[in-house]
Structure formats: C-alpha cells, structure tokens
Structure 1
Amino acid sequence: MNNTTLLKFVLLLFISTTAIAQKPSGYGKPPMVSLSGTILEQNSKQPLEYATVVLTHLKNKKVTGGVTDIKGNFNIRVPKGSYAVKIEFIGFKTKALPNQNLTKNANLGTLLLSEDAETLEEVEIIAEKSTVEIRLDKKIYNVGKDMTIKGGNASDVLDNVPSVNVEADGAVSLRGNENVRILIDGKPSALVGLSGADALRNLPADAIEKVEVITSPSARYDAEGTAGILNIILRKGKITGFNGSLNLTAGTPDLLSIAPNLNYRTKKFNLFSNLGYSYRKGPGNSQSFFTNYKDGVITGYRDENRKFDRKNNNFNGSLGLEYFIDKNSSITGSFFYRKSKGNDIATNLTTVFDANRITQSTENRIETEDQDNVNKQFSLNYTNNFDGNGEKLVVDLQYGDSEEVELAPIRVNGNLSEQNSQVTNSKDRLLQIDYVLPIGEDSQLELGHKATLQDLYSDFQVRDASGNPFTYDPSNAIDFKQNIYAFYAQYGSKVDKFSYLLGLRTEITDIDLTVLTTNQKSDKNYTEWFPTINLGYELNDTDNLTLGYSRRLRRPRYWFLNPFESRSSSTNVFRGNPDINPMFTSSFDFGYTTKISKLTLNTSLYYQYSTDIMQRVSVIEDRNGTNVFISQPVNLSDENRYGFELTTNYSPAKWARLSATFNYFKFKTDAFNYTYTAANGSQVVTPLPEVNNSSWFTRFNARITLPAKIQWQTRLMYRGPQESAQTDRKSMFAANISLSKDLFNDKASLVLNVRDLFNSRRRETVTYNGDRSNPTAIVDGAFQWRERQISLSFTYRFNQKKKRQRPGGSYDGGGEEFGG
C-alpha cells in the first residue's frame, strides 16, 4: 500500500469510526415547535449578536438552545414540552423565564438585557475553542484559542482555516485554487499592501478575531477572486469599559514581537487599537537543477543553490474611534500605519556542467536587498440602522497610500556587478454605499454601489557597476491605473425552512498600463455582469442543505502585467506580461451539514468552469549564446474543476477535541500552443498538453487536556501531488505542536509553539520546458520559505475574563443571514 492510499484509508477509517460510534436518532420524536424573539441592549436598543438562549426541559433536564444573529434575532426548534428559558450575554444580567409551556410556535417578542455592574471588570471573552458558524453564503471560523498560531501572523491563521492552504512562498489558496480575494473587515486594505502575501506575515495573529470563508459570494461582494473570498475580521471591543491584552513572543530563528491590543468603550464612543512590533530572521533556501536537451540528447547541466538570509523590522498600528450618534446610528474613523524595514541577502551558487557532469564554471551571485515600506490608510464609516427593525444604510470612505523603496546591489564572485533599484507608490481610493430594506418579517432588499480607484507608479532600474545600462536592459517604469465601478442588487427571503438570496452585480473595469521606458500601452476596458444564487433548506434541527451559484473573475494584478525581470538569477527569471486578459469562472457549490451527538459533519460538492485561465509558463530565450529561462503568466485555454470537501468536528470527552478536513479536487485543462516572441524577434512555440489530473489535501487537529490543566495541541497537514501543463508538484507534509498553560487565575497564558516540527514544509517541483515528450530542459526545484520555528509566547489580559465555554457555544446560530 503506497503512502497516498494509506493516508486515504486512515482518513476514511477515522470518519467511519466516529460516525458509527454515534447512535442514530430521529425515530419516535415528539412534534416540534419554534421559539423565536429578539434580544436588545436595554439602553442603546442595539441588537446583541451571539447572545445565548438556553432551554432546559423541566422533566428530562435535556439542554438545548441557540444564539442570536447579527440583528439580535433567534429562532429555535424544540420538541413540545415545558422549559426553563435563560437569556445570557457576557457582561449583562441573565434574564430567566422559568416556566414556558411550549405546545405551539411562540414568539417572546423583544427582550432587553442590562449591563451587570459586577461583571464589568470581566467583559471580554477569549474563547477556548474555535467555533464554526454556517451562514447562507459563507462559513465563519472564530480563531479562538488556537495555540499553534500564538506569536504567529495572518498567514499562520489562514493556514489553519479549513479549505485554505498557504504555500511555502506565502501564496494563499482556497480549495487548491490560488485565485482567492483577501479582504480586511470586508474591504481591500493597506494591511495587505503592495506585496500581497508577504504583507500578511506582518499582521500579528493576536489582532484577528475571525475569518470568513466565502466560497459562494453573494452580489454584495466584489466579483474578484474565482476561488472565493477570505475576509479577515480584526478584533474590536464590544463591551463597556477598558480592557486589553499584551502578547510577548520570542523564538528561534530570531523572533521577537510585542503586540498590545487596547480598547475603551462607553455608551457614547468606542476607542480601539491594534499595535504590533516584530523583529524576525527568516532563513530559507531553494534549489534548481537544470538538465538541458537537444533532440532528446543531454547537452549539459546547471545547478543553482540559493540561500536566503532575511531580517525584518516591522511596526504596524491602527487606531479607531466609533461615535454613537444615537441608539441606531454611528460614525467610525480609523487610521492604519505600517512601517517595515527589511534586509534580505540571497546567495546564489551556480555550477555549470557538461554532458559528462564535468564542471565547466562556477558563479557566486549575492543580491543584498534593503527594503523600506510605508503603508498608510484612512477610513471613515457611517452606519444608520434607522428604526432598528432591519432598515440599514452603510457608507464607507477609504484612502490608502503605500510606498516601497528597494535597493538591491548584486555581487558576482565578490565584485560589484549590478546596482538595482525599484520605487513603487500606490494611491488607492474607495467609496462604498450599501442599503438594506426589510420587506415584511422574513424578506429584505439590498442595493449598493462601490468605486475602487488605484493609481500606481513603479520605476525599476538595472545598472552595471559604473551606473550604466546593460546592452540588454531589463529596466522599466510603469504607470498603472485601475478604476472599477460596481452596482448590485439582491433580494433574500425565508419561507418556513427554505431560504434564498438572489443577486445581480455589474462591474465596469478600466485598466490603463503604460510602460514609460518603451511607451508600450495596454488598455483593458470591459463591463461584465455577475449573477449570484444562494439557497438553503433546514431539513430538521441538525441537518441543513445549501446550494450556491456565482460568476466571478480574476483580473491580473499589476505585477502580472509589469514586464520587469527578477534579478536574483541572471538565467532564471520571472517577468510580467502586459497582454494578459482577465479570467472568468462560473462556480456551483452544494453543501450539507449535520450533527450526530458529539460529531459535526460539513460536506460540499463543487464545480468550477473557467475561461482564459492564468498560469505561469516557462520558456527559454537565447541571449548572447546563453539560455535564459523565463517564467511569465499567460492566458491558456479553458478549465473544468470539481471536487469534494469534508470537515468533521468530534469531542469524545471534555478533555479531547478532534477535527479533520479533507478536500479532493479534479481538474481538466485543454491543450494549448503558446507562441512567444523572444527579444531577438524570433517566434518560439511551446506546446502545452491537455492536463487531466487530480489532487487532495487533508488536515487533522487534536486538542488534549493533560494533567495540571496543560493544553496540548497537534496539527498535521498533508498535501498530495499535483500536475499542471508544465509542472509536476510533489506531495508535502508538515506538523505543528503546542503546549499551553494558563496562569494568574486565567489572566495570562504561556504557550510553547513549534511550527514545522520536521522541517518538511518544502515545495518540490519538476518543470518541463518545451514539449513534455521531447523537452529542451527539465528543472528539478525545491523551495523552503521558512525553516522550523520554535517560539515561546506570553499573553496577559487585563479587565478580560477567560471563559471556559460559553453556554450553548457549540450551536451554530438561529438561522442564516442574507448578506455578507
């Protein structure tokens, strides 16, 4: 039995065992009734989301319940009988309704909760376990007390979210598809910055409250991101009083970080902040071994070994003030600032061999990159809930200014060879208006507009040791403008157990790219329509069905359009493509969720059809007698992708919590002949064969309580091999472990964390240049962004109370929410 078959067998055995261990229910059940109502805060009349409704049967003492949605509403189905009902919310007085005889559907109306003065010192929940909330168009993963991310960053958080993988180079994928849209608090943000995935490593994990995984986005959301959307929600205090936390982390390789989060809230305003400073050394490595062919005969070899020594000092801070104009409206202003300074040394040792593996030459190429990044963002939000019955107007304004300055001199065999520099500045503006109008008790209409405007300038210069351009000069400067204007409408309703949300979005895109050094222009202007359908059906209290359809697109980012060339290697480079077009995808998603005693199963079947897919293609270009391998993004043919996803959560005992995720997907890409025009004007045709391949990944997590209340957490990840038109990617396995102990009456926590325990998180690939059956070169590659990290993290909470388990915390809420 091979490793792949063995892993599949173990996973299926785990799922089967846990499912069989539960006694089926559903026979002889008494008739069901519904209990509904609305929970509001007594003074402000604001709805209390996640308030807990606990029902205890007066005869058999069985406990059930639910939590309120974003509007403070709940709707819970229970067997007929007499119940004691309690309404609970941390920091508020419990409301008890001791004897409720539920013989038919009942509505408790509006219930008001008042703050409990005795618990104002203990107002913030730091939940012990991560919970999952199922909505009509998304799944919400509360970060909770996930020990493996303590002292980590946003990339570590995303890598622990079901359905999501983070590659060795930081690229984020959703269900195996890297075209995922990442938002911060529902909007594009300077927190992601110009460098994309790299910037996520500078956002501390402790600042993140939850992550929304949106695989079938409604019309409210941007159409960008063919795989879907990941929305990172930052922490912001919600209860009256002053509270906060301080996290200190130290580790090896060198890691030192401090992250205070402070919040002060009164009945009239809420002042919140997220701060963080970190110093990191990030050693990494890569290898590329080239085997060159001519007419099927090996002509020589080249071995490139790179070592990365990275140092980074990063400070980021956000400060916001929310002012409550009255009980139904508020205005919030916030400012975000980040400054990071990096010093990266990439050492590339290249050895050239002849066909008999006799050394012909060696070269030691060292690129020293000093990088200064500054990101600033101003945001203003106005929210008006009108009469508090569901009508809502939200207006967002946002302005961002990001600048990166890079100086990267290169030395070859100890002598200065190149003086490279790049200056990039981006100014981003956003206007968004959303209006929700309730229609009756169970329906609502939503309308909105969004304008996103980006102006970006980048100047990339390559000069020799004397400051003069080379004969072949890869320098370039670009002026990039992208304006997107969107309008949407959607209508949602719930009829008994059936919910639906229908929407239509249009986006007008205007992209202008000018390569200033050559006056080359690339204009992309198009208007597209994006329908969305989301359906939900509650089979019973524990079983739910969802069905979603959406049309989405992937626009090329500026670095895919910018024809600059990377310079760490003179013979193995990446270059953008100004002629690349957007990619469009139609997605279908069918989901089923059930609970069987202590086991929760969440399954999905999905299908995606994409046109003009974007993929990196490698070609060989002859420059003065030297073969230069160039990787650049191109539009290929169409792709069909379909898959199956399963997430399980199982708690066999109070001291053990187990969860697993399994995702299998299959994809087919049509054959395609890519024609490339080399620098000398010659045409190079690269045949790309049909790809009909599959892959899978799985993740297993175990939380065990040891003696002395020490928490032990283990997280295992395995990703299967995958094949594309030119590249075969090998499988990968990684493991994280953590030990945690609470101190000082739960006011503090100490966490020992080991990421990538076996130092095995490496991306290994085999790339074929030219025809696979008759290649001109085969490249065996390996890349490891970060080596094994060991860290010790100490968190102290003041005016916060760490609660073991919120009553009813395992419930997923009393109904869906129509919008995002």
Structure 2
Amino acid sequence: MKTHILLIATSLLTANLLSPAKAQFPVMGSSTQAKALPGTAGDQSPKGSGKIIGYVVDSTQTKAVEFASIALYNKTTGKAVDGTVADEKGKFALTKLAPGEYRVLVSFVGYRSKTIDNLNLTNGQTVDLGVIKLPSSVKTLEEVTVTGQAAIIEEKVDRLVYNADKDIAAKGGDATDILRKVPLLTVDLDGNVSLRGSQNIRVLINNKPSTIVASSVADALKQIPADQIKTVEVITSPSAKYDAEGSGGIINIITKKNSLQGLNLNVDSGVGNRGSMLSLNGNYRKGKTGFTLGGFGRAMYNTITKTSLEQTSQVDGVTTMTRQTGDGHSSGMFGQYNLGFDYDLAKNQSLTAGVRYGVRNMISQQDLVTRLFTNGMAGSVSNRNVDAKNLSGTVDVNVDYLHTFKPQQEWSISTLYSRNDLTNNFDADLLNGSDVLTGRQRNLNKNVNQELTLQTDYQTPIKKNQLIEFGGKAIFRQVNSDYRYLQAGPSGNFVTENNNTLGELLYHQNIAAGYTSYTYTTKQRYTLKGGLRYEHTFIDASTRESGTLGIGNYGVLVPSVNASKTIKGTTVKLGYNRRIQRPGLQQLNPNFNAANPQNITIGNPSLRPELTNNVELGLSRTIKKTFINATFFGRVTNNAITQVRQPSDTLPGAIVTTYQNIGRQHAYGTNIFANVAVTSKINIGLFLNTFYTSLTGQAMSVDGISETLTNTGFNVSGGSFASAQFKNGWGAQAFGFMQGSQVQLQGRQGGFGFYTVGVKKDFSNKKGSIGLAAENFLSNRFNIHTVLNSAQFSQVSDVYLYNRGIRLTFTYKIGKMTMDAPRKKARSVNNDDVKSEGGGQTQSGGAPAGGGQPRQ
C-alpha cells in the first residue's frame, strides 16, 4: 500500500514540477520542499489554443498505465513548458498550447520512458498521439532492489522505519526474530519488547490493534511469521492522531501486502531441531475487487529449561530460606489465519473488510524440588510436578471506508471488533521427599477480553504547505477473569480448596477521545507537526470478593510537538509528547499464579494509569556510504506501574509478586545506530542503547507498613548485523545482540546474548529459494542470573536456556501477478491504549508459563 502511495506521490510531484497550473497539492511530511524547474513553474509559458492528447498503456498487456507522467519540452530550447498526469484510464491532455515544435516524454515507475519527437503544433490544432505503449523496465527494478539493500533505515518526522524484508536469516522464525534487529528496541528471551528501556509500549499490526497483544505482546509476536514482515515502524514521538496510550512509544509492524492483478500463491516452510513452520498465502484481484486468504502455522519443540533458586524471607522474626531446582520443557503450536476483501466503490471511494483468527497452544512441564530451612535448621523437602496450559484464541473483524476528495483531502470511518479467549490452567502433582504422591492441585483460569472500536478521521491541506487533521474515537472494552483452585488426594475427584478458592473480575473500560493535528512546512525546509488530544476514561470494575472497586473516571489532555530541519546534510529532530499507560489484563487479573508456590504472581485490579512526559533530540546524517543516527531522550513517569515483590505471610519462604503504582521513574539516555553500505550488496550495521534509570516509590510491606523503595543504575545493550548478496542468487546474513543486566525496582535482572547466521539461494526463475540458518551454535546453554532484594527478602535465581538451533527453509511462488494501479485503501482502527505485561522478567524459580497469569 505504501509503495502505491509513493508511486502516486512521485507522479504528482513530477507533474507539479512541470506545470504551474497543476502544482496545487504538495507532498506533506517531507523534509524537503519541491522547487520549480527553470523555465517551468517559475516562468509563464506563452499560451495558445493547441492541444495534445493520448492514451498510455502497458506494452505487454494493453492495459492502462494509471498516473503516468507526461512532460512537454520546447525542442528548440530544451526546457520543459508543461506537464500533466494520466487519469485512471491512461488518458491525458495538454491544452492551451502555443504554436511551436515540441518533444513529449512519457514515464512511470517500473517502465522505460518513451520520447515522442518532432511534434509541430499550430494554433488551434489538436494532435492525437494515440496509444503510447510503455515497456516494463527490468533494469529499473534491479536498480531499485540494490537501493533498497542499502537503505535499511528510513527516517520520518516522528518515527524510524526498519526495512525487514531483506532479512534472510529469519525465514522460519517469527516477529521476535525481526524485532531483535530493530534499532532502539530490545527483546528478551521470553519475547518481551522494550523501547529505550520501557516495556510500556503499544504494538500494532498493519496499524491495527488486537486483543491478543493486549493480553501478551510476547505471545502475540510468536504468531507473526518473520518472512511476512515488510517494515517495522518505531514511533518514538507519536502525534495526537494516535491513542494517548504507550508511554514508551508505538511499534507498528507492517506485513507484506499484494495488491497486484491476477492470482498467486506463496508457500513458505521451514524445519529445524527446535521448531517448524508452514505458511500459505493466496491473493486474487480482478478489476475493482481483491481477496486475500492466508494461513500460518508454527510448532515449537525441544525447548529445555533448567533453573536454580535461593531466596530468604523474614516474617514475624522467622527467617526462612528456600533452595529450589527445576527441570522443564515446553512445546507449542501457533497459528494465524486471515481472510481479506477490498472493493473500489468508485474512483475515489473504497471499502475494506477482514477477518483474522489467531491461536496459541503452549504446553509446559516442570519438575521442582524444594528444600526449606527455618532459622538455619533443615526443614521439609518436597517435589512438585507441574503441567501448565496457556491457550488462546483471538478473532479480529474490521470494516473500513475511505473517501478521497482530492490529494491529501480524505475522510475515513473505521470499525473493529476484537475478542480474545485466554485460558491459563495448571495441574500439579505433590510428592514428598521420597517421591511418593501425597496430593494434587488444579488451577482453572478463564479470561475473556473483548472490545468494539468506532473511529472517524478527516484531513485536508491548507494552502500549499499545511495539513490539518482531526477525528474522534470510541472504545468499548470488557475484561472478564474467573478462577478456581481445586485439590484432591493421590486419587479421587477434585474438590474446592478452603481458602482463595473462587475469584472473578468484571472490568468495563470505555474511552471517548478527540484530537486535532497540524503540519506546517516552511520554504526553509522546516517541518513542524503539533497536536492536541483529549481522552476520557470511564471505569466500572468489581470482583466477587470485594464488590465494586470504586475506581474513578479520569480524563487526560495529551499534547505533542515534533519538528525537523535538515542543516548542511544533518537532519535534526526535536519532539515532546505526553502519554498515559492504562493497566493491561495481566496486571489486573486477580488470579494468583501458584504453579510454583515459592514464587506466586497475582494481579491488582485497583491499578491506576501512569502518566509520562517524553522529550527527545535526534541527529542523523549520511557520510559517504555511512548512515548515522543518534537520539538523546529523557522520560519522567508518574504513578508508574511496576512489579513489586514481598514475602508471603501465609506460605513459609514464598515470595509474592504483584503490580503497584509505585511512584516515579526517570530515564535518560541515548540510542546510537550506524549503517555502512560497504558496497551496493554488502551492509554492516552497529547499534548501542544506553540509559540511566531511577525508580522510587512507596509500597506496602507484608506487615502493612509503608516501605520506601528506590533503585538506580545504567542499562546497556548493543549489537551488530551484516548482510551480503552474491552472484547466482546467493546471499548471507549474520546478527549478534547482547543485553546487560537491567535495573528493577528491587534489584537487577540478568542479561543475555543472542546470535544467528544464515545463507540463502534463490532459484534461477526467481520463484523460490532455499535457506539454512543457525543460532547460538557456539554454546550449549545461556545463563540469566538475576538478583533481587529488599529489607525483608533476598532472591538469587539462575535460568539456563538451551536454545542452540538450526533450521532449513524453503519458499516458492505459484501463479503470476501483473502491475496494478496504485490504490488507496481505507484506513483501519488503531487502539494504542493498553499496557503489556510489563516487567519483562523471566520467572524466577522456574515457574512455568500459565497457571493463571500470562507469561512474564
């Protein structure tokens, strides 16, 4: 879609440069401003009554080439005197021409230009050029491919764009593999994503939200095949058009779209020692109607985890030390299936609809051995074998309408219904020190998250260098969570436990929002984009245990300002925005995850939103073959939602993790990225992220006394990647990433490393390829060492990950597609307003995913 818009913009810009009469609608958002060519927009050409008409078609298909550029040159002076753009039928007309001898140049992206010489025009004469056939330009396409190889990073006034479709090592992987390579982002080994150290971000897929992302970003990314991702947009300073949610920023994943004419089917597959995948995607378009049908399935297996834990807690003068070891493995099936439809109601109106279903089935098993020591004396030894199920089914249905009045003036209506059914259950066999079964435990947790969104947007240009946007949005959201704890003896039926047996959360959250945004580009090439957004949130929440929670409604006014200017080849960007972060499902869910009773997780349905002020300064420059980007940022968050741990007052030696609005969080740092185009086919990239963070706040201790918590420190991560294209369709790529330990409110979470290399061979007919990729092959395992502590507890944990892998990939295209005209499709809904799981902590003590809380 973006490619098609670019083609239209290119043609319009060409026409604007050539014809003063038609240069009414400049391209907005560009850091440069079109200047008139000598002898064209700056001069008044002599007028007459002559006319030149014609019809531009594809030479191989006798099909109209829409929006082709037609330039008229004076043959004597060689200067351009007029120009126009063909309509949707390929027709064009140059009118009010003075007598003379002319030359016509017809061009369009993807075709070889055609020149018609020796046109002698007299006053009042009409010259019909008839059908002008443009042949395809294979050479031009090859040059575009090489350019794309070099331009991995694109910069816009409010975002950084990473072109992911060049990644050959990610075949057979998922979106997590791609996001690890995007500058400004860090992704831990559980798939939790951070932007400049903040996990309070919003992830969109093709500008659309999904309830599965609201439930768990990490699990949602596993459902997106890596080789279907075209670009990743990192929006560090969102404008007022975006929802106010996402204090760290917004990540928009754009998947590959095919809007060409004809029918085709793409087959992608991969098999490895730890996972396999199969993807089938079909596209059909005829005239005004287009359909897409696709499916993706991925299996994960042979995932082994070993853990060790030592923690000490003090409650009522009794010191309890826990020593625990765990051995586990997990397997999973992920799938995503979609059906799309688009129809051009008229020349300037379009309708888009789609249905997407996502499924996630994660099964994990872990054997835990726990030894307790009370005041230094050895106590009980117990074994616990846990089987956990993390199951999810998500349905997204959207219908969108777009009406384009003229270039950059458009009105859209977008609707979206989304529902996620999430199940987190576990069964545990309880054994004594002699491995004799003494009892069984079961936790049943059913969650439903559904939302309906209605949105309308309007934008229009003002004069030649200004654009105004405004719109409104309504979100109706409902979250339900039911849980039960059951127990049984070594045999027999399960019965309800005596304490903490039943729980239910009913959470209604309705949001009404309105915004306006203004973009202004000066003659000196300054670009300024400012906006104001207001959101009002209505909350009605209750639990079975406590009744109505009494969480008040609240409103927030969110300003945003972004400015950019290119000074002597250096682009300078300055931005400020205010963001809010509402708690997500896993922060609210009151079910306590006791799959590992020494490390319990429970949500807090009384959480309030957090409010963040962000400031950033970005500098970027291309020096010969090297692109350099450096961004300096500051972030202050009030009422921050953070994981807080404290000893249990009922279970000896246990640590309980919950979420609280702890107070204030500061972060100041820099992101540096450099890309070197060694040759047109070899790229090397380096990136470094470093920031200083300070967390401070008040939390309730186990005895009900308010405790002051504070922690500060530096967070550092970085990596490098390289890619190369060789002769005869061969290519290679390598990537490495290292993240240091991360500052937490009560300690530091351990760091980790990741690396991968891959090679690919394209078939001679360009319809398929075969590849081989290997990751973490130099070591058998990786250790994440985490140290957490407070005045009442200390915890040291080690998680050993066995993630050495290799995979073979295969892709093939069936069918043939032909060049279609650029078409502007209806916009879709963006819900950027729910906090993800946060914390991003690998579960200490080897607690398996599931058991009532989505993976952390």
Q: Shared fold by TM > 0.5?
A: yes
Q: For residue 139 of structure 1, what is the aligned residue in structure 2?
A: 160
Equivalent of 1:665 in 691, 699, 702: 691
Q: Do the aligned partners of residues 97 and 120 (structure 1) sit closer, same or farther apart at CA in structure 2, a change above 3 Å counting?
A: closer
Task: Tell me what 1:31 maps to.
Answer: none
Matched, 1:201 2:222: yes
1:495 aligns with 2:533: no
Q: Which amino acid aligns with 1:432?
A: Q
524-533 or 474-483, which deviates more: 474-483
Give a deviation string over 1:194-229, Cα, whole Å, max 9, x none.
Answer: 333212212212232211110000000011111100
1:481 lines up with 2:504 in the alignment: no
Q: In structure 2, the residue corresponding to 1:221 is in which secondary structure?
A: coil
Q: 2:455 aligns with which of 432, 435, 440?
A: 432
User: Is 1:525 equivalent to 2:548 in the alignment?
Assistant: no
For 2:416, the equivalent position in structure 1 comes to: 398
Cα displacement string for residues 117-144 of structure 1 (whole angstroms, at most 9, x for unaligned residues): 9769999998656632211111222211
SS at match of 2:745: coil
Secondary structure of 1:151's aligned partner? coil
Q: Is the 8 A contact 2:720 2:735 kept in 1?
A: yes
Residue 579 of structure 1 pairs with residue 599 of structure 2: no
The one of 747, 771, 779 aligned to 2:795: 779
AA matched with 1:399: Y
Map Cα deviations across residues 574-601 of structure 1 (whole Å, 9 max, x no partner): 1112332211111111111111111111
> Quick one: structure 1 residues 285 and 459, their matched pair in 2 at CA, closer, same or farther if it must change by over 3 Å?
same
Q: Secondary structure at the match of 2:209?
A: coil
SS of equivalent to 1:199: helix
Determine the structure 1 residue equivalent to 2:198. 177
* Shift of residue 548, structure 1, vs aligned partner: 0.8
Aligned-pair CA distance for 1:299: 5.3
Contact 1:513 1:523 in 2 (8 A): yes
Letter matched to residue 704 of structure 1 = A
1:96 Cα shift? 8.9
The question of 1:632 aligning with 2:653 is answered no
Structure-1-length-normalised TM-score: 0.81
The answer on whether the counterparts of 2:771 and 2:809 sit within 8 Å (CA) in structure 1 is: yes
Distance change >3 Å, CA 96–CA 745, structure 1 → 2: farther
Aligned to 2:678: 652
Distance 1:295 1:468 in 2: 31
Alpha-carbon distance in structure 2 between the residues aligned to 1:298 and 1:802: 76
- Call closer, same or farther: CA 1:760–1:512 in 2, change over 3 Å: farther
Cα offset, 1:660, TM superposition: 1.2
Unaligned stretches of 5+ in structure 2?
Answer: 15-25, 41-55, 88-107, 112-133, 432-436, 820-831, 833-856
1:719 matched to 2:739: yes
Question: Post-superposition shift, 1:456?
Answer: 1.8
| Separation of aligned partners in 2, 1:604 and 1:72 | 20
Cα distance in 1 for partners of 2:548, 2:179 equals 38
Could you say if the C-alpha distance between residues 329 and 294 of structure 1 is closer, same or farther in structure 2, counting changes exceeding 3 Å?
closer
Tell me the CA shift for residue 98 of structure 1.
11
**1:534 shift after superposition:** 0.8
1:48 paired to 2:73: no
Q: Which of 675, 689, 708 is the matching residue for 2:700? A: 675
Of 495, 499, 508, 2:536 maps to: 508
| CA shift in 2, pair 1:340/1:295, >3 Å | closer
The equivalent position to 1:232 in structure 2, one of 253, 257, 261, is 253
Output the amino acid matched with 1:428: E
Distance 2:252 2:774 in 1: 27
Cα 1:796–1:514 shift into 2, 3 Å: same
Fraction of identical pairs, as percent: 23
> Structure 1 residues 612, 262: closer, same or farther in 2, change over 3 A?
same
**Aligned in 2, Cα 1:443/1:755: closer, same or farther, shift over 3 Å?**
same
Change (3 A) 1:40 1:661: closer
User: Which residue of structure 1 lines up, in the alignment, with residue 367 of structure 2?
Assistant: 347
Report the Cα distance in structure 2 between the residues aligned to 1:602 and 1:200, rounded to whole angstroms: 27
Structure 2 equivalent of residue 292 of structure 1: 312
Per-residue deviation, residues 3-53 of structure 1 (Å, max 9, x unmatched)? xxxxxxxxxxxxxxxxxxxxxxxxxxxxxxxxxxxx999xxx996367899
Aligned partner (choices 808, 813, 823) of residue 792 of structure 1:
808
Aligned length, in residue pairs: 730
* Matched residue SS, 1:209: strand
Task: After TM superposition, give the deviation of residue 779 of structure 1 in Å.
Answer: 1.0
Q: 1-side partners of 2:427 and 2:59: how far apart?
A: 57
Contact residue 130 and residue 141 of structure 1 kept, 8 A: no
- Alpha-carbon contact 2:71-2:83 (below 8 Å) kept: no
523 and 75 in structure 1: CA distance in 2 versus 1, 3 angstrom threshold:
same
Write the distance in 1 (CA, Å) between the matches of 2:538 and 2:782: 40
For 1:460, what is the secondary structure of its paired residue? Answer: strand
> Match of 1:674, as an amino acid?
A
**Structure 1: where are the runs of 5+ without partners?**
1-38, 55-67, 804-819
One-letter identity of the residue aligned with 1:623: T
Residue pairs, 1:270-669, within 5 angstroms: 270-281=290-301, 283-285=303-305, 287-292=307-312, 301-353=321-373, 360-386=379-405, 388-413=406-431, 414-465=437-488, 466-473=493-500, 475-496=502-523, 497-519=525-547, 521-540=549-568, 542-623=569-650, 626-669=652-695
Closer, same or farther: CA 736–47 of 1 in aligned 2, 3 Å: closer
TM-score (norm 2): 0.78
Secondary structure of 2:381's aligned partner: strand
CA distance 1:246–1:359, change in 2 (3 Å)? farther
736-745 or 706-715, which deviates more: 706-715
Matches within 5 A, 1:4-83: 48=8
- 2:11 & 2:810 partners in 1: Cα distance? 30
Q: Deviations over 1:365-387 (max 9, x none)?
A: 1222244422112100101111x
Letter in 2 for 1:203: I
| Greater Rg by CA | 2
Q: What secondary structure sits across from 2:648 in the alignment?
A: strand
SS in 2 for 1:348: strand
Inter-partner Cα distance in structure 2 for 1:305 and 1:106: 81
| Structure-2 residue corresponding to 1:163 | 184
Q: Look up the match of 1:241.
A: 262
Query: In the superposition, relative to structure 1, how do residues 274 and 784 fare at CA in structure 2: closer, same or farther (>3 Å)?
Result: farther
Distance 1:119 1:347, change over 3 A: farther
Identify the residue that residue 723 of structure 2 maps to in structure 1.
703
Alignment CA distance shift 1:364-1:294 (3 Å) = closer
Secondary structure at 2:495 match in 1: coil
> Could you tell me how far 1:265 is from its partner in structure 2?
2.3
> Distance between the aligned counterparts of 2:742 and 2:423, measured in 1?
36
Residues 52 and 441 of structure 1: is their aligned pair in 2 closer, same or farther, counting only changes over 3 Å?
closer
CA distance, structure 2, for counterparts of residue 557 and residue 40 of structure 1:
35
CA contact (8 A) 1:718 1:734 kept: yes
> Is 1:222 equivalent to 2:222 in the alignment?
no
- Residues 334-380 of structure 1 show CA distances to partners (whole Å, capped at 9, x for unaligned) of 01112333332232222335677x86433221222244422112100
Cα distance between partner residues in 2 of 1:724 and 1:370: 28
Residue pair 1:348, 1:568 contacting (<8 A) in 2 also: no
Change (3 A) 1:643 1:446: same
1:764, CA displacement in angstroms?
Answer: 2.5
Q: For the Cα contact (< 8 Å) 1:148–1:753, is it kept in 2?
A: yes
Corresponding residue number in structure 1 for 2:776: 756
> CA 1:503/1:746 → structure 2, altered by over 3 Å: closer, same or farther?
same
Larger RCO, structure (CA 8 Å, separation 6 or more): 2
Q: What is the SS of the residue equivalent to 2:513?
A: strand
Q: Paired residue for 1:15?
A: none
Cα deviation, residue 650, structure 1:
0.4
